[in-house]
Structure formats: structure tokens, C-alpha cells
Amino acid sequence: MTLSTLLIILISYLVGSISGGVIIGKIRNVDIRQKGSKAAGATNAFRTMGALFAISVLVIDVYKGYFSVYYIPLLFLDESTNIVKALAGFSAILGHVFPLFFKFKGGKGVGTALGTLLAFPQFYFTAGIGFLTWLINLFITGFVSLGSILAGIMVSVVFIFENDFILNELSIYIIFISIFFILTHRENIKRLFNGSENQFKKIMLINLFKKND
């Protein structure tokens, strides 16, 4: 592994560590990690602070994933490979889940992962399928966590099928993301099985117009 690649991985992790939930929370004088599920992602932001807060968090989280894959490799390489981009993407996701700047307490990585996928033209279709899977699940079950897990699995299945089951750096990357989603949602999975997981549709109408105070 070259020095340039190591620097790309490090900087991508640091960019991923910029937590939208914590930053927007500090502006509003709120520590989102002490509320709701205690995750610093957009879902918990919506659940505890309302729609405007959540959208701000989501924009930051998605863009830092996109930025890490699309722009950071250009700082060190004239032309980056998919392997380097994938390493940058996963480093950003890892930074979001375990942010260096915020005591390693971050979100689940879904928004940042979406941002990394949008930086790869090869993933546009599968990312769209993943979003539709998440959205359909949300309307049917109301469980955001379940939708995130199913979306992660679906994008892997669709991408591998679309590419004739060829195992390459991009298919490995998207499979790895799917597995990582399951790991970051392990507490949600436990709550889904014991019936204590929060349902989005039960809190949606309450929080949709809730003021961020």
C-alpha cells in the first residue's frame, strides 16, 4: 500500500468523523447522543429533534461520503482506481460510526454509505433500488432500521446479479457495506425480535413539524 493510499484512507476517516448530528446539535445546544437511540445519525435526529434538524444532518452525512470517494483521491492521485475509492468510502463510513472527534460515538453509517455509492456511476441503479426498498419497507412496517438492513442486502444482490455474479472490488465493497449495516444495527435487530423497536409511523406525525428548540 502506497503512502498516497494511506493518506487517502486517513483523511477520508477524518472527514467521516465530522458528525452532522453532533455539529448541528451543538448549534442547537443539544447533544443528540444523549437522546432517543443515542445514535448521531439522521433517524435519531428526526425522532428527537424534528424534520429540519434531520435533513441538515442527512445532507452533511451523505455529502461527506460522496466527498471522500470523489474528491479526496484526486488530492493525491492523477487517476484513482476503484480499490482506492472503495477504501476511501469505507474509511468515511467507519469515521461516521466511530468518529475520532466525538469520542467514537456516531451513527449507523447509512447516509454516509449512500453518499459513497453516489460517487460511483456503477452504483447509481443499485442505490436507487436500495432507496426504493427502504421506502417501501418504511411504509409497510414503519421500521427504519429494518429498511436500512434490507436496503443494504438488496443493493448487494442487485449489483452482483447485474454484473453476472462477477466478484470484483466493487462487488466486494458493496457486500462489505451490507455486512457492516447488520453489525451497526445489531441492537436494533435485538429490539425487532423482542418487539421494542420504535416505529417511524408512530412518531412521524408528531415530529414532522416539531420545532427544533
pLDDT at residue number 212: 44
Q: Which residue is associated with the grid cell 449512500? A: 114
Asked if residue 156 has pLDDT above 70, the reply is yes
pLDDT, one tens digit per residue, over 94-133 is 999 999 987 888 888 889 999 999 999 999 999 999 999 9
Q: Distance between CA 107 and CA 57 in Å, rounded?
A: 11
Q: What confidence tier does 25 reach under pLDDT thresholds 50, 70, 90?
A: confident
Better-scored residue on pLDDT, 28 or 213: 28
Read off the pLDDT of each residue in 33-42 and give the average, rounded to a whole number.
Answer: 71
pLDDT, one tens digit per residue, over 48-80 is 777 777 788 889 999 999 999 999 999 998 778
Neighbour-count burial for 3-27, b at 16+ CB within 10 Å, e otherwise: eebeebbebbbbbbbbbbbbbbbee
Compute the mean pLDDT over every residue in the chain, rounded to the nearest whole number: 85
| CA distances for 77 relative to 28, 81, 86, 90, angstroms | 39, 9, 14, 18
Q: Distance between CA 41 and CA 55 in Å, rounded?
A: 10
Q: Distance between CA 141 and CA 202 in Å, rounded?
A: 11
Residue 164 gets which letter from DSSP?
A: T
Q: Which residue is associated with the grid cell 434531520? A: 54
Q: What confidence tier does 36 reach under pLDDT thresholds 50, 70, 90?
A: low
Burial class (CB in 10 A: 0-12, 13-18, 19+), 69: buried
* Out of 40-54, 70-84, 133-147, least confident range: 40-54
Asked if residue 193 has pLDDT above 50, the reply is yes
Q: What confidence tier does 211 reach under pLDDT thresholds 50, 70, 90?
A: very low
Altogether, the residues listed in the chain come to a count of 213
Read off the pLDDT of each residue in 10-30 and give the average, rounded to a whole number.
Answer: 86
Q: Distance between CA 94 and CA 199 in Å, rounded?
A: 26
Better-scored residue on pLDDT, 45 or 114: 114
